[in-house]
Structure 1
Amino acid sequence: MSVDIVVPTLGESVTEATVARWLKQAGEAVAADEPIVELETDKVTVEVPAPQAGVLTDVLVAEDGTVAVGAVLGRIGEGNGAAAAPKPAPAAPAAAKPA
């Protein structure tokens, strides 16, 4: 089951923030309470922690995106890390040399 990563309450009068940078990428393992994304407001930069351990499965808001308090930033699913990298496509056969 996946858990949403939401924009926390940032202050009494703050209603939105900008995603400054993702500290983890989709497919990476995260520990509970590990900072995974930085949000900026006109007054402060806040690190948002992972709500649970697992794998960051979805990044829903890109860096520099504006989000409202309570908006979903991404999702964490069960697991412990990225799947094995896909095998590269086979190389094309070399062109025949002219005789």
Structure 2
Amino acid sequence: MATEVTLPALGESVTEGTVTRWLKQVGDTVAVDEPLLEVSTDKVDTEIPS
């Protein structure tokens, strides 16, 4: 099931990606700019910060 998530700009032509790994679990403390998840697109694999 697809869920829409707003991500920072990953590139000029990148319009969608796949969450490949969650770096935080439910209940974990999250600090500013701490990596939350990894996203894979056809052009880039990157960590997405809080």
TM range (shorter): 0.7 to 0.9
User: 2:6 maps to which residue?
Assistant: 6
**How far apart, CA to CA, are the structure 2 residues paired with 1:19 and 1:8?**
14
In structure 2, distance between residues paired with 1:32 and 1:25 = 16
1:7-53: CA deviation from partner (whole Å, max 9, x where unpaired): 11111111000001000011110111000100000111111111xxx
Query: Pairwise mapping of residues 1-99 of structure 1 onto structure 2 (< 5 A)?
Result: 6-50=6-50
Q: How many residues align?
A: 46
Could you list the runs of 5+ residues in structure 1 that have no partner in the other structure?
51-99
Percent pairwise identity? 61
What letter matches 1:7 in structure 2?
L
Q: TM-score, normalised by structure 1?
A: 0.43
Q: Which runs of 5+ in 2 are unaligned?
A: none
After TM superposition, which residue ranges in structure 1, 4 or more long, deviate above 3 angstroms? none
Work out the CA distance in 2 between the residues paired with 1:13 and 1:37.
21
Name the TM-score, length of structure 2 as normaliser.
Answer: 0.81
Which is greater in Rg?
A: 1
